[in-house]
Amino acid sequence: MRIGIGYDVHPLTRGRRLVLGGVEIPFDKGLSGWSDADVLTHAVMDALLGAAALGDIGRHFPHGAPRYRGISSLVLLREVKDKLEEQGWRVSNIDATIIAEQPMLSGYIGKMRQELSRALNITLSQVSVKASTSAELGFAGRGEGMTAYAIALIQGVSD
Protein backbone atom coordinates (compact mmCIF):
# COMPACT_ATOMS: atom_id res chain seq x y z
CA MET A 1 0.00 0.00 0.00
CA ARG A 2 1.11 3.55 -0.69
CA ILE A 3 -0.26 6.99 0.17
CA GLY A 4 -0.01 10.15 -1.94
CA ILE A 5 -0.90 13.77 -1.27
CA GLY A 6 -2.18 16.12 -3.95
CA TYR A 7 -2.60 19.88 -3.98
CA ASP A 8 -3.79 22.30 -6.63
CA VAL A 9 -4.80 25.95 -6.86
CA HIS A 10 -6.36 28.02 -9.64
CA PRO A 11 -7.44 31.65 -9.83
CA LEU A 12 -11.08 32.53 -10.40
CA THR A 13 -11.90 34.62 -13.45
CA ARG A 14 -14.97 35.82 -15.31
CA GLY A 15 -15.87 34.20 -18.61
CA ARG A 16 -14.96 30.64 -17.63
CA ARG A 17 -17.09 27.68 -16.55
CA LEU A 18 -16.63 26.46 -12.98
CA VAL A 19 -15.94 22.72 -13.06
CA LEU A 20 -15.19 20.78 -9.87
CA GLY A 21 -14.91 17.00 -9.78
CA GLY A 22 -16.20 16.93 -13.36
CA VAL A 23 -19.39 18.77 -12.38
CA GLU A 24 -20.27 22.16 -13.83
CA ILE A 25 -21.34 24.49 -11.02
CA PRO A 26 -23.45 27.57 -11.83
CA PHE A 27 -21.38 30.61 -10.77
CA ASP A 28 -20.40 33.98 -12.20
CA LYS A 29 -16.72 32.97 -12.34
CA GLY A 30 -14.75 29.91 -13.32
CA LEU A 31 -11.26 28.65 -12.67
CA SER A 32 -8.52 29.77 -15.02
CA GLY A 33 -6.19 27.19 -16.52
CA TRP A 34 -5.07 25.36 -19.67
CA SER A 35 -7.52 22.46 -19.29
CA ASP A 36 -10.93 22.87 -17.66
CA ALA A 37 -8.95 23.95 -14.54
CA ASP A 38 -10.80 21.44 -12.33
CA VAL A 39 -8.83 22.05 -9.14
CA LEU A 40 -10.40 19.08 -7.33
CA THR A 41 -9.65 16.53 -10.03
CA HIS A 42 -6.12 17.91 -10.44
CA ALA A 43 -5.42 17.41 -6.72
CA VAL A 44 -6.75 13.83 -6.95
CA MET A 45 -4.54 13.11 -9.97
CA ASP A 46 -1.46 14.44 -8.19
CA ALA A 47 -2.24 12.35 -5.10
CA LEU A 48 -2.54 9.20 -7.21
CA LEU A 49 0.60 9.89 -9.24
CA GLY A 50 2.51 10.71 -6.07
CA ALA A 51 1.43 7.51 -4.37
CA ALA A 52 2.79 5.52 -7.31
CA ALA A 53 5.97 7.65 -7.50
CA LEU A 54 5.09 8.65 -11.07
CA GLY A 55 5.71 12.39 -10.77
CA ASP A 56 3.00 15.03 -11.05
CA ILE A 57 0.34 16.08 -13.53
CA GLY A 58 2.62 18.68 -15.12
CA ARG A 59 5.00 15.90 -16.14
CA HIS A 60 2.27 13.82 -17.75
CA PHE A 61 0.01 16.59 -19.07
CA PRO A 62 2.19 19.66 -19.70
CA HIS A 63 0.65 23.11 -19.61
CA GLY A 64 0.60 24.58 -23.09
CA ALA A 65 0.40 21.24 -24.92
CA PRO A 66 -2.34 21.69 -27.57
CA ARG A 67 -3.85 18.26 -26.84
CA TYR A 68 -4.82 19.37 -23.33
CA ARG A 69 -6.31 22.79 -24.17
CA GLY A 70 -9.79 22.85 -22.59
CA ILE A 71 -9.78 19.07 -22.00
CA SER A 72 -11.99 17.59 -19.29
CA SER A 73 -9.89 16.70 -16.28
CA LEU A 74 -11.94 13.51 -15.93
CA VAL A 75 -10.38 12.34 -19.22
CA LEU A 76 -6.96 12.98 -17.69
CA LEU A 77 -7.97 11.22 -14.47
CA ARG A 78 -8.86 8.11 -16.49
CA GLU A 79 -5.41 8.27 -18.07
CA VAL A 80 -3.84 8.48 -14.60
CA LYS A 81 -5.84 5.42 -13.53
CA ASP A 82 -4.55 3.57 -16.61
CA LYS A 83 -0.95 4.58 -15.81
CA LEU A 84 -1.35 3.24 -12.27
CA GLU A 85 -2.81 -0.04 -13.52
CA GLU A 86 0.09 -0.41 -15.98
CA GLN A 87 2.42 -0.20 -12.96
CA GLY A 88 0.42 -2.78 -10.98
CA TRP A 89 -1.57 -0.43 -8.74
CA ARG A 90 -5.27 0.00 -8.03
CA VAL A 91 -7.02 2.82 -6.19
CA SER A 92 -8.18 1.95 -2.67
CA ASN A 93 -9.68 5.29 -1.73
CA ILE A 94 -9.60 9.06 -2.21
CA ASP A 95 -10.26 11.78 0.36
CA ALA A 96 -10.37 15.34 -0.97
CA THR A 97 -11.24 18.83 0.25
CA ILE A 98 -12.05 21.94 -1.76
CA ILE A 99 -11.33 25.32 -0.15
CA ALA A 100 -13.60 28.11 -1.44
CA GLU A 101 -15.74 30.87 0.06
CA GLN A 102 -18.30 30.76 -2.76
CA PRO A 103 -20.30 29.22 -4.24
CA MET A 104 -21.89 26.88 -1.73
CA LEU A 105 -20.85 23.41 -2.89
CA SER A 106 -22.80 21.08 -0.57
CA GLY A 107 -25.49 20.41 -3.18
CA TYR A 108 -22.88 19.22 -5.70
CA ILE A 109 -20.68 16.99 -3.56
CA GLY A 110 -22.65 13.80 -4.31
CA LYS A 111 -22.38 14.31 -8.07
CA MET A 112 -18.64 15.08 -7.75
CA ARG A 113 -18.14 11.81 -5.88
CA GLN A 114 -20.08 9.95 -8.58
CA GLU A 115 -18.02 11.45 -11.40
CA LEU A 116 -14.69 10.77 -9.69
CA SER A 117 -15.65 7.19 -8.77
CA ARG A 118 -16.85 6.53 -12.31
CA ALA A 119 -13.62 7.88 -13.84
CA LEU A 120 -11.53 5.73 -11.48
CA ASN A 121 -13.81 2.68 -11.81
CA ILE A 122 -14.19 2.41 -8.03
CA THR A 123 -17.25 2.45 -5.79
CA LEU A 124 -18.83 5.62 -4.46
CA SER A 125 -17.88 4.57 -0.92
CA GLN A 126 -14.20 4.78 -1.93
CA VAL A 127 -14.41 8.52 -2.72
CA SER A 128 -14.82 11.27 -0.15
CA VAL A 129 -15.19 14.93 -1.16
CA LYS A 130 -15.61 17.76 1.30
CA ALA A 131 -15.84 21.53 0.96
CA SER A 132 -14.62 24.10 3.41
CA THR A 133 -13.94 27.82 3.55
CA SER A 134 -10.84 29.69 4.62
CA ALA A 135 -12.82 31.90 7.02
CA GLU A 136 -12.41 34.81 4.57
CA LEU A 137 -8.61 34.67 4.93
CA GLY A 138 -6.10 34.68 2.06
CA PHE A 139 -6.77 34.57 -1.68
CA ALA A 140 -9.53 31.95 -1.33
CA GLY A 141 -11.18 34.01 1.37
CA ARG A 142 -11.18 37.05 -0.88
CA GLY A 143 -12.79 35.01 -3.69
CA GLU A 144 -9.71 35.22 -5.90
CA GLY A 145 -9.27 31.46 -6.34
CA MET A 146 -9.84 27.95 -5.07
CA THR A 147 -7.60 25.30 -3.58
CA ALA A 148 -8.01 21.55 -3.30
CA TYR A 149 -6.16 18.91 -1.30
CA ALA A 150 -6.41 15.16 -1.82
CA ILE A 151 -5.03 12.03 -0.25
CA ALA A 152 -5.01 8.76 -2.15
CA LEU A 153 -4.36 5.24 -0.98
CA ILE A 154 -3.29 2.78 -3.65
CA GLN A 155 -2.69 -0.93 -3.34
CA GLY A 156 -0.67 -3.40 -5.37
CA VAL A 157 -2.88 -5.50 -7.63
CA SER A 158 -1.44 -8.71 -6.16
CA ASP A 159 -2.26 -7.60 -2.56
Average pLDDT over residues 123-145: 92
| Number of independent structural domains in the chain | 1
For 11, the domain range is 2-156
User: What are residue 120's phi and psi, to 5 degrees?
Assistant: -90, -5
Q: Compute the distance between CA of residue 47 and CA of residue 53 in angstroms, rounded to an integer.
A: 10
Q: What is the pLDDT of residues 95-104, one digit of tens each?
A: 999 999 999 9
Buried b (16+ CB within 10 A) or exposed e, 83-113: bbeeeebebbbbbbbbbbbebebeebbebbb
pLDDT per residue over 69-120, tens digit each?
Answer: 889 999 999 999 999 999 999 999 999 999 999 999 999 999 999 999 999 9
Q: How confident is the model at residue 159 (pLDDT cuts 50, 70, 90)?
A: low
Strand-pairing partners, residue 12, are 31
Q: What CATH code is carried by the domain that includes residue 24? A: 3.30.1330.50
- Residue 143 has what pLDDT? 85
- Dump pLDDT digits (tens) for 19-72: 999 999 999 999 998 899 999 999 999 999 999 999 999 999 988 888 888 899
